[in-house]
Chains A and B, each alone.
Chain A
Amino acid sequence: MPAPYPDIKAPLLPHQIEDALADLAVTFPTLCTRTVFAGKTFKNKSQSYIKIAKGGGVRPAVLVTGGVHAREWAPPDALVTLARNLLVAYTTGADIGFPAMAVTPVGGTAVTYKPWAIKFADVKGIVENLDLYLFPLVNPDGREFDLTPPIDAIGWRKNVSPQAGGNIGVDLNRNFDIIWKFEDYFDVPVYKSRYGNTTPASTDPAADTYRGPGKHSEQETKNVESLLDTLPIGYYVDVHMAGRNILYSWGLEENGDVPTMTFQNAVFNGTRDGLPKGDSKLPVGRTDYQEYLPDDPPHRIRSRGKFGADIMRDAILRSAGGGALPASGTPQWTHSLYVSGQSAFLYLPVGGGPNSGCSDDYACSRQFLNPARQPLFAYTLEMGHLEEQFFHCDYRDVPGHFRKINREIHAALFGLFKVVVTSAQPTPPEPPLQRVCLIATATLGDPAHPDVRYLRHLRDERLRATPAGAKAADLLDRVYYSFSPAVARHLEGHPRARAIVRALVIRPLVAALRRLFGPMAPDRPPDPPDDGKKQEQAQEQADARERRQADGPGPAQADGQGGIR
């Protein structure tokens, strides 16, 4: 499809969105790369994401997802439009222009909006200084189901995988591996005492917010998690509908200052209240639990998280005013005023409390599981409004709902992108290749183990030496990181499993790689045969250490003075 691209006048079907991404990668090969996920959806659909960036080097990375919920029509279409606009503008040196428009709210009179533009200078700054990852349609099966006639008034929220009792679908935004098993995290009776007969997610397969049969049971969830695990994302935005809200972390609980109050700390299991500060439902004598979100320099994660949300809110308002804030109380102000707030309690008066298994919390949690990932800011945008028909907005020029929401999504995201590229860069995590030995390290118990060092050397120096090798290394990274953090965490507490993985996976793998690529050059002594011998000796020592650990705790460990490590 050659540029310029036509406006989108009806919700795109999943295959059209995939085609659009493929087209962008072909049309703009130096700026846009497309990656197809290995796993397919229940309906056997392939999914892909694109990366838009000119040049390389260490720089901030942003991931934007859309279409997690099937019926939320506008975000995937707006993200496709945004990608097209960004690439066309960068290539042609033009601004991204939005003409004047009239938008009629349901039950209201038309509101006119001035033209608005994203300047080429900003486009250039973003393309050249940001790694932008766009995954516009997370839930293609659900979207296709929602768009299959007869279209339902309320629409379909979940995916369509078969579930118990003949039900279909999991709410992907309750399926992420972050307090997925909410009954372990919360004191559920206290939670229910405040929010009525509801829980942070549903365990009923028939329900709209069904969390699924297991954490990240769904391929679509795994895809998003893999991006957040493998890419050095500093900012994550999940675009939803509807309600004109911009949510920032946490959604698990109220934000707090106590470093020990974390989702990882089992001491608090079953006692977390899920209540806002000062709530009368807190049991007498119980300490109010708040999820730790530090606000210390240099990252100021809590303040800057809110700051990013406010930036997006203000950017939307400015776009409604044609580039300047409209006067308070004008129609442009009233119909484009978004609310920014902490995810956990924004919907309190309608029984909305903290939720489990959400994408933004999963993203936010990465920086606490791996402090090298700090800072990481995560947002959920609820775009559109009741007066724009909620999820099923109207794409026609009149009333112009999609046109308005599309402009608002552009405004919010470009507002954030501009801040990301112009303010202090988040500290990038270690390059994934430096961390790719997670499993080997966990298995062998020592990052300096010869096998770990060999794997690291192979990835970082041998494979990186050629473009083809670098590609192979990237692939290795992606595959490896789709499962390695979870496996490594498991192995750390299970010595016998480590012994098995070492014997059946790591050792044969390293032996095969050594045969294929030869020994590690930097450590090679003057006499090569000694190198192999030395490495073997070191391996034997490490193996003996590992065997002792795998045999279970000895007397010292029983006394609490030793440990697996």
Chain B
Amino acid sequence: MALLQIDATSEVLTGLSEVEELYVVKPSLESLGADRYRVGGYAAESVIPDLEARGCVVTVMMSTDAIERFNRQVEDSIAPSSPDV
């Protein structure tokens, strides 16, 4: 899963609910003016052509690899888990 920034019109954004492989973070919605909006979400890089074909301008903010590396670093930095009691 990569972290994506998606710019599109409201009509295109509404249609993104059909893209099952895309996880949109709704509270990230921002207006860019003139019926253009920006939203963030997660999807594999392979989904990007579909999004672009729908009229989205997609920017990869963090690649799948970068997120993986980040998560491994966090796993190393958090304290050991407490046993369930």
Contacts and interface: CB of A to CB of B under 8 A. Distances in A.
A109 to B, nearest CB: 14
Interface in B37-85: 37, 39-40, 42, 59, 61-62, 64, 67-68, 70-71, 74-75, 77-79, 81-82, 84-85
A386 B59 CA distance: 12
A352 B82 CA distance: 38
A395 B75 CA distance: 12
B34 interface: no
Given A196-B17, A197-B17, A385-B28, A13 B61 contact: no
A91 interface: no
Nearest to B16: A350
B61 A351 contact: no
Contacts of B75: 149-151
B28 A390 contact: yes
Contacts of A153: 1, 3, 42, 64, 67-68, 71
A245 interface: yes
Contact of A196 (B14, B71, B81): B14
Contacts of B13: 349-351
Interface in A346-370: 346-352
A386 B3 CA distance: 8
Contact of B23 (A9, A148, A154): A154
A392 B70 contact: yes
Interface string B1-42: 101010000100110110000011111111100000101101
Contacts of A150: 71, 75
A242 interface: yes
B40 A390 contact: yes
A389 B29 contact: no
A351 B14 contact: yes
B85 to A, nearest CB: 6
Contacts, number: 108
Contacts of A346: 27, 29
B25 A243 contact: yes
A314 interface: no
A498 B3 CA distance: 57
Given A106-B62, A151-B75, A392-B74, A347 B42 contact: no
Given A106-B3, A107-B61, A392-B71, A147 B78 contact: yes
A433 to B, nearest CB: 35
A333 to B, nearest CB: 14
Given A15-B82, A107-B59, A151-B71, A9 B77 contact: yes
Contact of B29 (A144, A148, A350): A350
B28 A349 contact: no
A242 B67 CA distance: 17
A536 B17 CA distance: 67
A394 interface: yes
A502 to B, nearest CB: 41
B46 to A, nearest CB: 14
Interface of B: 1, 3, 5, 10, 13-14, 16-17, 23-31, 37, 39-40, 42, 59, 61-62, 64, 67-68, 70-71, 74-75, 77-79, 81-82, 84-85
22 contacts: A12-B79, A15-B82, A44-B84, A144-B81, A147-B74, A150-B71, A153-B67, A153-B68, A154-B1, A154-B23, A243-B25, A243-B27, A243-B28, A339-B30, A346-B29, A347-B29, A349-B14, A352-B26, A352-B29, A382-B27, A386-B28, A392-B71
User: Which 10 residue pairs of A and B lie closest in terms of their CB atoms, listed nearest first?
Assistant: A243-B27, A386-B40, A153-B1, A15-B82, A10-B77, A151-B71, A349-B10, A382-B27, A243-B28, A347-B26
Given A106-B62, A149-B75, A386-B28, 18 more contacts: A10-B78, A10-B79, A13-B79, A15-B82, A44-B85, A147-B81, A153-B42, A153-B67, A154-B23, A196-B14, A243-B25, A243-B28, A347-B26, A351-B14, A385-B28, A390-B3, A392-B71, A392-B74
Interface of A: 9-16, 43-44, 106-107, 144, 147-154, 196-198, 240, 242-243, 245, 339, 346-352, 382, 385-387, 389-390, 392, 394-395
